[in-house]
Amino acid sequence: MRSILSISLPPNKKKDIEGRAKKANMTLSAYIMYTVELEKQLIGEDELVKRAKRAELDYKNGKTKELRSLADLMNE
């Protein structure tokens, strides 16, 4: 079952979203649902800061390796 969501947008924002949906070959509803699902996959600011701090700690503790090429990474 579907329900209706009505939102108010400035004309230029509405036109932008409609254009993006058309370019993606999606209906407006499908495009909005798609973008909401993508947004769910993004990490939050707190998680980003946590990961950056952990990476910095790993670097300071010598737990990182200097790679000169993608081949170096693949050979690890």
Q: What is the pTM of this model?
A: 0.61
* pLDDT score of 1: 82
CA 22/CA 6 separation, integer angstroms? 20
Could you give the percent of the chain with pLDDT greater than 70? 99
Gap between the Cα atoms of 7 and 18, Å rounded? 14
Cα–Cα distance measured from residue 61 to residue 50, given in angstroms and rounded to the nearest whole number = 17
| Helix H or strand E encompassing 12 | helix 11-23
Q: Each residue of 18-54: pLDDT tens digit?
A: 999 999 999 999 999 999 999 999 999 999 999 999 9
Closest by alpha carbon to 2, among 35, 41, 33?
33
